[in-house]
Structure 1
Amino acid sequence: MSPTIRVDDEVYEELQKRATPFVDTPNSTLRRVLGLPPGKAPQTGGEAAASSSPDAALRPLLADRRLRPGQRLVWRRRNLNRVHYAEVLENGALRLEDGSVHDTPSGAATALAGNSQNGWTAFATEDGTLLRDMR
């Protein structure tokens, strides 16, 4: 698990200015600003664990066809004026735009935000149905 850091609003706004929309994460932006080489994206459980896990959180929603492999989920962060996307994988895990794979919606949302998040209330289908309401 990656450590959590907290920054003030001014630092966060500067990170947002330096980030490439829909590409960068706070981690990738900091790596670039600090002159570090691109690193492996922070993950919860890791890609190998997610791809081999038979119990990824969204698997039941795939089994009864409420979700489908390849479907895109959306997290609209209106307060930050950002939109994040995640792809539902065949095993019920989520792949983020940075390529990281997470077993749970909350793991994916936490990786995007850099702090603890409830992915069940963050992510929705493109038609606006929250994952929480699909359980």
Structure 2
Amino acid sequence: MSKPMRMIAVDDEAFAYLQRHSEPLVDTPNDVLRRQLLQDSKPTAGTAGSRRTGALMPIIEVGLATADDKLRHHQPRRRRTHEATVTADGWVEIPDGRAFPQPSPALKAQAGSEINGWGQYTHVDSGRRLQELREDATKHQGQA
């Protein structure tokens, strides 16, 4: 049984906040509000707050990465380096506090353009690209 929905109006600043804290094409404004306002009231088993497991979880589960590991992408022509952190639930958190279930939207938020986070983020501890770790995790899970 679904809960009744109520309509609310928000100003442009509040809507911009909701957009900054959502994953495009995945989260609704309601998802963001629930995550931000109700995160301590009903956490979902196995996740942080009410969010689902992120795409890096298989890499964590096979021991190729751990929570708080650093990810890095260097743009030599722009002389910029972007860093992010792996969360315990497999998300990618960037320094401004936003977290993404997939690496590509996280890197896009940092670099300002479409970019393949799997192919461009390097796992600092191992020196390997996330794509390599994902492939190894898939092989490892296939053997289990």
TM-score relative to the length of structure 1: 0.63
Hey, what does 1:6 align to over in structure 2? none
Q: Secondary structure at the match of 2:20?
A: coil
Q: List gaps (5 residues or longer) in structure 1.
A: 1-35
Letter in structure 2 aligned against 1:101:
A
Size of the alignment, in residue pairs?
98
C-alpha displacement of 1:42: 2.6
CA shift at 1:117, angstroms?
1.1
Identity of aligned residues (%): 24
Gap change, CA 1:85 and 1:100, over 3 Å in 2: same
Correspondent of 1:42 among 20, 30, 48? 20
* 2:82–2:111 contact (8 Å) kept in structure 1: no
Letter in 1 for 2:84: A
How far residue 82 of structure 1 moved from its aligned partner, in angstroms, is 0.6
Equivalent residue in structure 2 for 1:101, among 81, 99, 105: 99
Q: Pick which of 72-81 and 52-61 moved more.
A: 52-61
Q: Which runs of 4+ in 1 moved over 3 A?
A: 46-55
Classify the secondary structure of the residue corresponding to 1:120.
Answer: helix
Q: Which has the higher contact order (CA 8 A, sep 6+)?
A: 1
Q: Residue in 2 aligned with 1:129?
A: 128
Q: Does 1:110 align with 2:108?
A: yes
- 2:55 corresponds in structure 1 to 57
Output the CA distance in 2 between the equivalents of 1:44 and 1:114: 16
- Maintained 8 Å contact 1:74/1:84: yes
Q: State the structure with more CA Rg.
A: 2
